[in-house]
A and B are shown apart, each in its own frame.
Chain A
Amino acid sequence: MKIPTLSGVRGCVQITVRGEGINRLINALAEAGIPVWDIRPASNNQTADMKLLLRDFHALRPLLKRTGCRMHVARRIGLPFRLAKLYKRKFFAAGIGAFFLLLFVLSSLVWNINVVGNEKIPTEDILKAAKEEGVRPYQWIFRLKEPDKLSRALSLKLPETSWIGVERKGTTITIQVVEAEKPEKEPLASPRHLVSKSDAVITSIYAEQGRPLVQKNTRVKKGQVLISGILGDGEARSQVVVAKGEVKGLVWHEYQLEVPLVQKRKIYTGERKDKSYLVLGNRAIQLWGYGKEPFAKSETLTERDPLTWRSIALPIGWMTEKVMEVTETQETLQPEEAKKLGLEAAIRDILAKYGNDSQIISQKILHEKRENGKVYMKVLFEVEEKIAEELPIVQSQGE
């Protein structure tokens, strides 16, 4: 009773029938079991429109002949006709097909491999190991193994890692690496003695490795061996090691100090004038900050800011000059203050030269005089400091 299903897919035609015996044709069609539908008589009663399946079109011809009707096809509906139309435009259809095929092919390739989280292991090594497992750019995604299998294989190949994760997102593969913690290697050292840096009196000696040759309160000369790197009797059964340890001793430093009583000091007032230049090669073109400098005394601070491209400095850049006003103040010190300043400077110098853990045991002013507006002093400092110094043991080749 109903209109045949999927008539759009199977294809149907709308025909216009002309003739006297349209009702006989309809009866004949119904008797033959050919489904026809939407039979619409035209207002002049001579013609009628009807639809039937493409499949039944050839069976229609003998019925038309028998009933004396004529027909022509008014409309072609459905997929078969569309396909035929598309077949006429083969290359267009092929293009559509090729586009989707290309899209599919390109999206099933691995395009990027990112390695995340490695610090000590070079990325190249990880990529090389991944390549051996088949993870490389331009590889088919469907040829890759499962991510968990991949990560297990990779962590077997890279023993320095404690965990490796492989994740695929689209066409990008991310290899996440967690490196195994390993104790840091000590720098290699050749066999050595520890010798004294200067004349001193030992206050403490602690040998971690090697044979201590001196004791506390021993007076040592510069270059004397404190901890020996040769174990044993020095004969056939001796062994050479890297001497390690800490030796502290009292050392005397003599300082000649001179402190001027009148101290000159420069102070920025905060007034400033900026000049801006455009730098082209070796030339600078001043763009801003023309005019006379209003300051009596000034200091100029120059900042260069060249254009850079990937750490290459280009010959074009910007330069700013900050002209800052300066006032000079004079301060006259009391001799006591000058002495204190001089001693502080000397102590700072000692700490900087002989190590921060040096301790000033005593200080003695040997000589002091005032002359030409300056205080001259000769000071002797007694300092406890590290005196050990490394001396490599030269292996004498036996004759």
Chain B
Amino acid sequence: MTRISRRLRKWTNEVLDLPQDVLLDLPRITLVGNKELTVENHQGVRHFSENKMILSLNQGVLEIEGAELMIRAILPQEVMIEGIIRNIKYTGMGESS
């Protein structure tokens, strides 16, 4: 994305009051209690084990720690994780891409 297009998007976002994930390709993370986590707009699974999962995002990484974690379902844009979730760490990479 060029500078101009990004600024244009930011501007439309401000003017039209649209949600960020629609325009800026940001992940939308939904957490249901500590049992279910849905991540939309993910970029793949980086690490995958019973206690820890790392999902790639558009910008940065999402680390999930817990117990008995499992992927309930996975689609190109969406992943649903079930288990006992204890810790979610979002490691952003700033504005760079």
Contact = CB atoms under 8 A, between A and B. Distances in A.
B32 interface: no
B75 A41 contact: no
Interface in B27-76: 38, 44-50, 69-76
Contact of A26 (B71, B72, B80): B71
Nearest to B40: A1
Interface majority SS (helix, strand, loop, mixed), chain A = mixed
A26 to B, nearest CB: 5
A29 B79 CA distance: 12
A48 interface: yes
Interface string A23-43: 100110111010111111111
B72 A38 contact: yes
A35 B78 CA distance: 11
A23 B49 CA distance: 9
A33 B76 contact: yes
Contacts of A31: 44, 76
Looking at B46, B70, B71, the one whose CB has the most chain A CB atoms below 10 A away is B71
B69 A41 contact: yes
Interface in A1-36: 1-3, 22-23, 26-27, 29-31, 33, 35-36
Interface majority SS (helix, strand, loop, mixed), chain B = strand
Contacts of B70: 38-41
A41 B71 CA distance: 9
Contacts of A2: 73
A35 B50 contact: no
A45 interface: yes
A41 B48 contact: yes
B39 to A, nearest CB: 11
Given A1-B80, A30-B76, A39 B49 contact: no
Contacts of A22: 48
A27 B45 contact: yes
- Chain B contact-residue range equals 10 to 19
Contact of A35 (B45, B46, B48, B75): B75
Contacts of A38: 70-73
A1 B69 contact: no
A41 B78 contact: no
Given A26-B45, A27-B44, A27-B45, A39 B50 contact: no
A37 B76 contact: no
B37 to A, nearest CB: 13
B58 to A, nearest CB: 15
Contacts of B38: 1
Contact of A43 (B47, B50, B73, B78): B50
Given A1-B78, A26-B45, A27-B44, A37 B50 contact: no
A26 B74 contact: yes
B29 to A, nearest CB: 14
A2 B46 CA distance: 22
Given A1-B75, A1-B78, A40-B70, A23 B45 contact: yes
A23 B75 contact: no
Nearest to A3: B73
A29 B73 contact: no
A31 B78 CA distance: 11
Given A1-B75, A30-B76, A42 B44 contact: no
B49 A1 contact: no
Contacts of A23: 44-48
Interface in A36-76: 36-43, 45, 48, 50
Contacts of A37: 71-74
Contact of A29 (B47, B74, B78): B74
Given A23-B47, A27-B44, A38-B71, 18 more contacts: A1-B78, A3-B73, A22-B48, A23-B44, A23-B45, A26-B45, A26-B71, A30-B74, A30-B75, A31-B44, A33-B75, A36-B71, A37-B71, A38-B70, A39-B48, A39-B70, A40-B70, A41-B48
22 contacts: A1-B80, A3-B73, A23-B45, A23-B46, A26-B45, A26-B74, A29-B74, A31-B44, A35-B75, A36-B74, A37-B73, A38-B71, A39-B48, A39-B70, A39-B71, A39-B72, A39-B74, A41-B48, A41-B49, A41-B70, A48-B48, A50-B71
Closest 10 CB pairs of A and B: A39-B71, A27-B44, A23-B48, A40-B70, A37-B73, A23-B45, A45-B49, A30-B74, A41-B50, A1-B78
